[in-house]
Amino acid sequence: MDKIQFWLTDSLLLKDYVTLLNAGLGVCSIYFTIMQSFVIAGILIFLAVIADYADGLLARKTNTKNKLGKELDSLSDIVSFGVAPAILSLYLNSSLLTLICSVVFVCAGIVRLAKFNLQKVKGTYIGLPIPIAAIILSIINLVLPPIIPGSLIVLSVIMVSGVQFRKIGV
């Protein structure tokens, strides 16, 4: 009975479809990376950041936060801000070193998102938020491909660090 109750009371809300748009943009970024349309891939990551911001804003404005939405958000974020920029990095700086650093980046992003979901502190982020890491990495990917491996590692370390960042506009 509990499972039935969960499915009936925690179905998808409007904000959840915006979250899924975030994931879809991440998948499209991966596609355009594979098609070697790197600028479009980078733009799609940036658009995914906007969708990620919009779903949170919509949840707050409509007071429709739910556990399912929180999980969907993290899963979508790892696609758009972990895997998509890592794939872009690999296409622009194809090496074993970049592959290893990309795996570290994705894993650090997963850890960062899991920690965020457990975080009780309000008004601050502990560790660099993965959407910001993805934007920085996407810019580096398109402007300075030779420094991609080092950038992946530095961003990974900052994501899982204890450095606090103040939330803006929340």
Axis-axis angle for helices 38-62, 67-77 (nearest 10) = 170
Per-residue confidence (pLDDT) for residue 1, from 0 to 100: 47
Query: In this predicted model, what pLDDT tens digit does every residue of 17-76 receive, in sequence order?
Result: 999 999 999 999 999 999 999 999 999 999 999 999 999 899 889 988 888 888 999 999
Confidence at residue 119, expressed as pLDDT on a 0 to 100 scale: 84
Q: Where are the domains of the chain?
A: 10-166
What residue type is assigned to position 55 of the chain? D
The interaxial angle of helices 148-160 and 84-92, nearest 10 deg, is 160
Give the pLDDT confidence of 82-104 residue by residue, as tens digits.
Answer: 999 999 999 999 999 999 999 99
What does the pLDDT average to over 138-163? 97
Local confidence band at 3 (pLDDT 50, 70, 90 cut-offs): low
Lowest-confidence segment of 12-16, 91-95, 121-125, 133-137 by average pLDDT: 121-125
Topology of domain 10-166, per CATH? Answer: Four Helix Bundle (Hemerythrin (Met), subunit A) (1.20.120)
Instruction: List the structure tokens of 149.
Output: 């491996």
Q: State phi, psi for 107 to the nearest 5 degrees.
A: -65, -40
- Asked whether the predicted pLDDT for residue 169 surpasses 80, the reply is no
